[in-house]
């Protein structure tokens, strides 16, 4: 069973979007464009919508990043993209009363795309580590080389095993000569 109905409850989305608009009106001096908090989809959105946005952004800006692409035919209904604090977004944008007592982290790591995280999920199902009776959500957070600080930025080893295929050559994403973007992934289950 897919979590989409629980995750994307329209009343939570509408409430969050209304609060964003209210904050933007009350605090016009805040740089909303830089923060990119226009609505819920800036913090939490389905992967297939996110990937369309990413490719459009790159094309529009004439950027050519090294990206490992997903297979076009992959079903990714239970994959979402958002900020690193996935547990906070899940609490805010879902029917949290339903999931708060039964929601748990199952696996995490670093990948190049949704397909690789889905393969980890499928391997865990096949091995019996994950139950087929549980609903799962895969949550991805993109990490970009272009906005990393020169000192003290994102490091590979702090976020679990890297399951991707890119050639990592440095401890810090900022110094990677061939990697432009990766994802931190979390797989969460709901009994």
Spatial separation of the C-alpha atoms in residues 21 and 66, rounded to whole Å? 35
Q: What was the pLDDT predicted at 110?
A: 95
**pLDDT classification of 184: cutoffs 50, 70, 90:** very high
5's tokens: 């109905």
Spatial separation of the C-alpha atoms in residues 187 and 181, rounded to whole Å? 20
Q: Which residue has the tokens 């900022």?
A: 174
Q: Residue 103: phi, psi to the nearest 5? A: -100, 130
- In this prediction, residues 152-158 reach a mean pLDDT of 87
How many structural domains does the chain have? 1
Q: In the predicted model, is pLDDT for residue 178 greater than 80?
A: yes
pTM value? 0.74
Q: Which domain holds residue 36?
A: 4-190
Are the beta carbons of 68 and 168 closer than 8 angstroms?
A: no
Q: What was the pLDDT predicted at 82?
A: 75
Are the beta carbons of 135 and 3 closer than 8 angstroms?
A: yes
């Amino acid at each position: 069973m897919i979590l989409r109905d629980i995750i994307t409850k329209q009343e939570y989305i509408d409430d969050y979007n209304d609060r964003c608009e209210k904050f933007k009106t009350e605090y016009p001096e805040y740089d909303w464009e830089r923060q990119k908090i226009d609505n819920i989809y800036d913090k939490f959105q389905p992967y297939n919508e996110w990937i369309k946005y990413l490719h459009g952004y790159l094309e529009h800006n004439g950027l050519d990043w090294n990206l490992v692409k997903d297979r076009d035919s992959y079903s990714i209904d239970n994959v979402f993209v958002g900020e690193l604090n996935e547990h906070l977004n899940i609490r805010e944008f879902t029917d949290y009363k339903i999931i708060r007592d039964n929601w748990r982290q199952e696996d995490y790591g670093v990948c190049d795309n949704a397909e690789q995280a889905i393969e980890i999920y499928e391997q865990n199902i096949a091995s019996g580590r994950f139950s087929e009776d549980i609903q799962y959500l895969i949550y991805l957070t993109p990490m970009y080389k272009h906005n990393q600080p020169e000192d003290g930025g994102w490091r590979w080893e702090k976020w679990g095993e890297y399951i991707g295929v890119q050639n990592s050559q440095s401890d810090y994403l900022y110094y990677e000569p061939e990697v432009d973007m990766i994802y931190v992934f979390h797989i969460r289950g709901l009994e």
